[in-house]
Amino acid sequence: MTLPTKAVLQQLEQIQKQASEELEKINDPKELQLWKVRYLGRKSRLTQVLRSLATLPLEERRKVGVRGNEVKNILESSLAEREKILEEARIASSLKYKKLDVTLPGQPLSVGRLHPITQTLEEICDIFKGMGFQVIEGPDVEWDYYNFEALNIPQEHPARDMFATLWVDAEVEGGKARLLRTHTSPVQIRLMEKKRPPIRVVVPGRCYRYEATDATHESMFYQVEGLAIDKNITMADLKGTLFEFCRCLFGEERKIRFRCDYFPFVEPGAEVAIECLACHGAGCRVCGYTGWVEILGAGMVHPDVLRRGGIDPKAYSGFAFGMGVERMPMLRYGIDDIRLFYGNDLRFLKQF
């Protein structure tokens, strides 16, 4: 059914008048919502009028359309205005009844924190920075060459058994296979290839080993490597540096043990252990019932390793060390399971 234009225009006037009058009287947000549905909703009279436009001749359609849209705009802006008035009234009344008490304590903001291992890494690097070391990094995915060959561990060398390796490539040919680095030592070679002595760096980073996890082993863990190369570097420099480091991290009182050890890429090689903090030397799960916890391997850089890095072992010498990072907070805080660090249990992590 089509109505004559005049009747339609009249209808629009009527809708506007009625809607405005009703709106004036609304004081409740819920009613406001109902009003919106009634006058602007899909089934409202206004919408129906606008829809029926298509049936009018072009001239009329324009006239009615313009007016219809005007009415719609007016209703929409009156609605927004009414909403604002109601909101202001709500705030005013809530302030009237609940006066603001400025003496109440504020709402605490919850602040995030760094992971205990990140904190430890920063602390370790800071100690070495204080001794003139630079902090650098290397890749997690490494070539067989850097992880093994260049470090005097050719294929079939028994020392490969020290490192249960996670391979990226199945084929190993002339050091060309990729693996997840089993220690941070490959960065030694990478740096020597690029930089001439004097070198003094520490290298924090993730390492990976194909091992069953237990209280003291994880398949992913952190190490910090150290490397110093210059003229006349001796074992005394190595020992002095490591003792100073242990004193800074664990305090003056802690007993430190410095012994011989073997690593193919150093000669002579050494190992540093400190008195177990969890049991104070009596023997427990953390120290494998020995009273001592090994925290790092070290030694004088092997001449062949220097040579492969393009450094003349007759002119230069150097020391290197590599430490396990998780051990440090375990010792310090008496944490007896390494898996806690990567279990993402907030009850544990929140304590640091």
CB-nearer residue toward ligand PHE: 35 or 316: 316
Map tokens 């995030």 to a residue: 112
The reply on whether position 298 binds ligand PHE by CB under 6 A is yes
Please report, as a single letter, which amino acid is at residue 280.
H
Mark 73-112 with x for binding to ligand PHE (rule: CB under 6 A) and - for no binding.
----------------------------------------
User: Cβ closer to ligand PHE: 283 or 303?
Assistant: 303
Q: Is 183 in the site for ligand PHE (CB under 6 A)?
A: yes
Rounded to 10 degrees, the C-alpha dihedral 177/181/219/324 comes to 160
Quickly count: other Cβ atoms within 10 Å of residue 343's Cβ. 10
Q: Which is nearer to ligand PHE, 183 or 200 (CB)?
A: 183
Binding residues for ligand PHE, rule CB under 6 A, total: 10
Closest alpha carbon to 234 in 157, 177, 318, 170: 318
Phi and psi (nearest 5°) for 337?
-145, 115
Tell the residue number behind the tokens 């561990």, with chain if given. Answer: 153
Q: Which two tokens stand for residue 212?
A: 């069953």
| Binding range to ligand PHE, per CB under 6 A, among 36-44, 137-145, 303-311, 316-324 | 316-324
Binder among 321, 328, 331, 335 for ligand PHE (CB under 6 A): 321
With respect to ligand PHE, which residue has the nearer C-beta, 16 or 147?
147
Q: Based on CB atoms, which residue is closest to ligand PHE, 139 or 283?
A: 139
Render 176-231 in DSSP notation, one character per residue: --EEE-SSSTHHHHHHHHH-PSSEEEEEEEEEE-----BTTB-SEEEEEEEEEEET
Q: Indicate which single residue of 39, 263, 292, 341 sits in contact with ligand PHE (rule: CB under 6 A).
A: 263
Residues contributing to the site for ligand PHE (CB under 6 A): 183, 185, 263, 266, 297-299, 320-322
